[in-house]
Structure 1
């Protein structure tokens, strides 16, 4: 095989590795490319307790597939808080249509993200949630990025990862599809979002993460391949984390 053919085969392999996950997502029912944003479902997913019926403090972290074609590759993440005795939740998130990009507004914590049903990544209640809220309110004014950039960041996932790194109570592993979580701006080395390891990242475009919770992640242009030996799982662009239960679902007990 001559050099040109080897390069061509290598290029086709790379394209296959990059495209396989998003193509599988396209075939799933989680992505609806034809739904206009103004017609998308924004109702509650039923994951958060009613604020009026929950006297204790609550902190939750959510992730949902990004809107339109972006959902083939990535999720959008956000944080919701409710102090003890409060009758409403406050949703903290970064979006591309606000200036500054970071907002903290009263809202529905588990609202479907432009049609996509969210997954709850973390649920804190009681005293630990109260301490987390105090920490969150203290560091929010320090968020350094007033603007939004879809790739490689800073974006919504950059914010959530930034916040998780600075609030010890937020012990959460962000999805490998949270593109932008590895954007460190001018820093090259940082603690992993979970706080259980470290990562090397060049502006979120290329990097390596090794941590107990996340396992090993290789970031190439924002797309993450990885493996988690401690909690057996494979990480693939577009698909995210794949466990044995995803391949061989356990039968539900009757």
Structure 2
């Protein structure tokens, strides 16, 4: 038990300490936090093909030490602009927001990264499925930073409904494991395995994309087998980086 205690202390608290040591993405007021374009989204007027991009950035202020905020943008073939979907816990109205910010905007001072990108003729069908999944999201009017439902709960719902995204949501995406009390068993968010979760407070996920991941009070710890790495709180992963193995993919008819 002593060995187990020290092992857990190292793999949980050390990554959290390193995440805190990185500092917050922005420590000023949300009113003047940078939200300009990051330059990651292509110019829709110069890119006629259909596109799906999924973004993630460190959460605002102290939440960025332990959690991330994701969103989805889509553009149909020939469209002149992107549509952005996400869940936000402030601003009035329902939590599910459409075009709340620029498609690839800085998230209140935090630089976003692309988790997944799909382009091509077949992406039109993917957009249909993504938008259908968004319409069926069950917590449109609810938001709790911990343990959920929140923005990562929303992304996990869409990922389960559209398994062709094969989305591996990182370990520091607090809320991704939130499940209603009467639906504790589901597909893993990637669609490549299964998940058991009790209100996002305790559970386990087994999947080809996720590997093996345990959830203890909303903090996730596991092993990514496909791309060897530890899945840890705060930092997300320690090991081979996700973006080396998962390049933007093209979906064709």
TM-score range, shorter chain: 0.7 to 0.9
Matched with 2:194 is: 198
- Give the 3-state SS of the residue equivalent to 1:195 in structure 2: coil
Matched with 1:139 is: 133
Matched with 2:113 is: 119
Q: In angstroms, what is the RMSD of aligned CA positions?
A: 2.2
- Give the 3-state SS of the residue equivalent to 1:127 in structure 2: coil
Question: Which of 158, 174, 177 lines up with 2:172 in the alignment?
Answer: 177
Higher gyration radius (CA): 1
> CA contact under 8 A between 1:88 and 1:106: conserved in structure 2?
no
* TM value normalised by structure 2: 0.87
In structure 1, how many angstroms separate the alpha carbons of the residues matched to 2:16 and 2:184? Answer: 28
Is it true that 1:34 corresponds to 2:30 in the alignment?
no
- Give the 3-state SS of the residue equivalent to 2:122 in structure 1: helix
- Number of residue pairs matched? 239
Is it true that 1:58 corresponds to 2:51 in the alignment?
yes
Which segment is superposed worse, 33-42 or 58-67? Answer: 33-42
Matched with 1:99 is: 93
Structure 1 residue runs without a partner (length 5+): 1-5, 247-254
Structure 2 residue runs without a partner (length 5+): 243-253
In structure 1, how many angstroms separate the alpha carbons of the residues matched to 2:116 and 2:85? Answer: 14
In structure 2, how many angstroms separate the alpha carbons of the residues matched to 1:75 and 1:21? Answer: 15
Compute the displacement of 1:190 (Å): 0.7
In structure 2, how many angstroms separate the alpha carbons of the residues matched to 1:219 and 1:159? Answer: 18
Compute the displacement of 1:40 (Å): 1.5
Compute the displacement of 1:230 (Å): 2.2
Matched with 1:46 is: 39
Compute the displacement of 1:143 (Å): 1.3
In structure 2, how many angstroms separate the alpha carbons of the residues matched to 1:13 and 1:234? Answer: 13
* TM value normalised by structure 1: 0.87
